[in-house]
């Protein structure tokens, strides 16, 4: 699974996610990636792209849950993404991660697995690339 989230210079947010699914999956199985609110979501407040155990992300509406925790719960981006990835997803036996950016340009890239291929950057600055937890 791959994904991207961005905040542009006008303050607009967007998210995109794309996947081939799971190796040896049953034909016709669809995971969270193409489902707005599950594996991909964007509002005026946050943009989110997920990767991981698709069925668990679907059952939790994980991407939208980040937005809801921020909008209704008053959580920060960091708090909301930590809660979803480090608490709610594992509670249902899932694993994976997400990338997210909020309206202020804050970024969060949490994951509960050993690693996540990830990179981020601010316009005009050196990009940061990471794979492992300790990166």
Partner 1 sequence: MAKATIAIHGGAGAIARASMNAGDEQRYRQALSLIVADAQSRLAAGQSALDVVTEAVRQLEECPLFNAGRGAVLTHQGQHELDACVMDGSTRAAGAVAGVTRVRNPVLAARAVLENSPHVLLIGEGAESFAEAQGLERVENHFFTTPQRRAQLERAIADNQMRLDHDAGSLSPDRKFG
Residues identified as active-site: 1
Q: Which of residues 87-106 bind partner 1 (CB under 8 A)?
A: 95-101, 103-105
Given the complex with partner 1, which of 74 and 123 has the nearer CB atom? 123
**Do 103 and 13 meet the contact criterion of CB atoms below 8 Å apart?**
yes
* Interface positions, 113-132, toward partner 1 (CB under 8 A): 113-125, 127, 129, 131-132
User: Does residue 31 belong to the site contacting partner 1 (CB under 8 A)?
Assistant: yes
Our CB check for partner 1 shows the closer of 41 and 61 to be 41
Q: Is 6 in the site for partner 1 (CB under 8 A)?
A: yes
Interatomic CA distance for residues 116 and 119, integer angstroms: 10
Q: Is 111 in the site for partner 1 (CB under 8 A)?
A: yes
Q: Residue-wise over 13-45: b if at least 16 C-beta within 10 A, else e? A: bebebebeeeeeeeeeeebbbebebbbbbbbee
């Amino acid at each position: 699974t791959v994904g991207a989230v961005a905040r542009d210079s006008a303050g607009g947010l967007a998210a995109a996610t794309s996947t081939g699914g799971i190796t040896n999956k049953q034909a016709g199985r669809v995971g969270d990636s193409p489902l707005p609110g599950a594996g991909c979501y964007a509002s005026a407040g946050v943009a989110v792209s997920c990767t991981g155990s698709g069925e668990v992300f679907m059952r939790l509406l994980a991407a939208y849950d980040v937005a809801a925790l921020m909008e209704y719960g008053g959580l920060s981006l960091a708090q909301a993404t930590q809660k979803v990835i480090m608490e709610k997803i594992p509670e249902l036996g899932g694993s994976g991660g997400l990338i997210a950016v909020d309206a202020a340009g804050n970024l969060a890239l949490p994951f509960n697995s050993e690693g996540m291929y990830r990179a981020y950057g601010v316009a005009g600055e050196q990009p940061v690339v990471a794979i492992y937890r300790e990166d």
